[in-house]
């Protein structure tokens, strides 16, 4: 029977040999997930022998991580904006920089308003759920092209008990007509697939081999969704309604001019914690 320390050492070496960055950290985090303890508490348990089923699960996790599967898919969950979300290979793993998108929306809205919000590209449901939790009178509609993603988002909606205020709909923004919402929305938000087709092939294996490609790239110039959503948002938003986009590195100015062409005013660009231009926001005329 291997102890905690022995297992950690073997796993770290295995992950290092596979070329995984921060191998020891990965080994510790996966083991602490199995033992349901904090990572640092492993240090108090170095001599504890692992039970056979713990060793088996750990072996499986380490082998998956050695194969470049993202940590979050292995443990099946992630924290976003202080909330827990289930994730699997059908949804994009929520990113820290997307929290800036939520923060920007919250800074531009009031908790006491009965806002009607449309989110385009539900994924795990991280955006609609974070907004609904923090804007207690809001109602959110969130669309996604993938039925599998919507099932994950619905599980997360259940986890946060928000069925009465969030509706998920399977729809493709490039095709479907959302005209029944014309002139009814206060806010439209999207973190669309924005990686262009050339950059896509250069992404790290964790993304390339595991995350859903339709959530990452538009297989074109990276701007497809900004163009379509800006165009459609004009009639969906109420007068003075607001459009919020997350953008990829280097896209903010292009997105700004797309929004200007569509008549949006008061356009602002907000940087993330790495000082990368990350959110573009504008007001409907
Ligand atoms: N809205 C989800 C997120 O921000 C999914 C986005 C996507 O799939 N492109 O993580």
Q: What residue ranges of the chain are covered by domains with CATH 1.10.8.10? A: 4-67
Structural fold of domain 78-283: Rossmann fold (3.40.50)
Q: From residue 85, how far is each of 92, 198, 202 by CA, in Å?
A: 11, 31, 28
Spell out where the chain has E strands.
Answer: 77-80, 83-86, 116-120, 139-144, 166-170, 185-190, 237-246, 265-271, 277-283
Q: Please give the distance, rounded to the nearest whole angstrom, from the Cα atom of residue 146 to the centre of ligand 1.
A: 12
Per-residue model confidence as pLDDT tens digits over 235-269: 999 999 999 999 999 999 999 999 999 999 999 99
Per-residue model confidence as pLDDT tens digits over 125-169: 999 999 999 999 999 999 999 999 999 999 999 999 999 999 999
Is 4-67 CATH 1.20.1730.10? no
Query: Would you state the pLDDT for residue 177?
Result: 82
As a whole number of angstroms, the distance between CA 19 and CA 13 comes to: 10
DSSP secondary structure string for all residues of 30-66: HHHHHTTS-GGGGGG-TTPBPPHHHHHHHHHHHHHHH
**pTM listed for this prediction:** 0.95
Q: Please give the distance, rounded to the nearest whole angstrom, from the Cα atom of residue 14 to the centre of ligand 1.
A: 32
As a whole number of angstroms, the distance between CA 42 and CA 58 comes to: 14
Query: Would you state the pLDDT for residue 182?
Result: 97
Atom from ligand 1 closest to the CA of residue 92 = 8
Q: What residue ranges of the chain are covered by domains with CATH 3.40.50.150? A: 78-283
Residue 160 per-residue DSSP state? T
In this structure, the residues whose C-beta lies within 6 A of any atom of ligand 1 are: 92, 94, 98, 121, 123, 126-127, 191-193, 215
Confidence at 107, pLDDT banded by 50, 70, 90? very high
Per-residue model confidence as pLDDT tens digits over 14-73: 999 999 999 999 999 999 999 999 999 999 999 999 999 999 999 999 999 999 999 999
For ligand 1, atom 8, the nearest C-alpha belongs to 215
Q: Please give the distance, rounded to the nearest whole angstrom, from the Cα atom of residue 120 to the centre of ligand 1.
A: 8
Query: Would you state the pLDDT for residue 253?
Result: 98
Is 285's pLDDT higher than 90? no
């Amino acid at each position: 029977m291997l102890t905690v320390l022995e297992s950690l050492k073997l796993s770290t070496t295995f992950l290092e040999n596979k070329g995984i960055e921060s191998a020891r950290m990965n080994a510790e985090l996966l083991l602490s997930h199995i033992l349901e303890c904090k990572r640092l508490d492993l240090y108090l348990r170095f001599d504890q022998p692992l039970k056979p089923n713990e060793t088996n699960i750990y072996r499986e996790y380490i082998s998956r991580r050695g194969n470049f599967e993202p940590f979050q898919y292995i443990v099946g969950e992630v924290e976003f904006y202080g909330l827990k979300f289930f994730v699997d290979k059908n949804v994009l793993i929520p990113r820290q920089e997307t929290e800036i998108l939520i923060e920007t929306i919250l800074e531009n809205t009031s908790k006491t308003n009965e806002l009607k919000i449309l989110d385009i590209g539900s994924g795990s449901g991280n955006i609609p759920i974070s907004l609904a939790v923090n804007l207690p009178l809001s109602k959110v509609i969130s669309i996604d092209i993938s039925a599998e993603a919507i099932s994950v988002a619905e599980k997360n909606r259940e986890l946060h008990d928000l069925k009465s205020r969030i509706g998920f709909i399977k729809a493709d923004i490039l095709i479907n007509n959302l005209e029944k919402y014309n002139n009814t929305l206060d806010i439209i938000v999207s973190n669309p697939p924005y990686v262009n087709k050339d950059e896509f092939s250069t992404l790290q294996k964790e993304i390339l081999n595991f995350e859903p490609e339709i959530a990452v790239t538009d297989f074109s110039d990276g701007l497809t969704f900004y163009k379509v959503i800006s165009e459609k948002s004009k009639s969906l938003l109420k007068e003075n309604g607001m459009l919020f986009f997350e953008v990829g590195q280097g896209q903010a100015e292009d997105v700004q001019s797309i929004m200007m062409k569509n008549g949006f005013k008061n356009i602002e660009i907000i940087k993330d914690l790495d000082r990368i231009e990350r959110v573009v926001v504008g007001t409907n005329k």
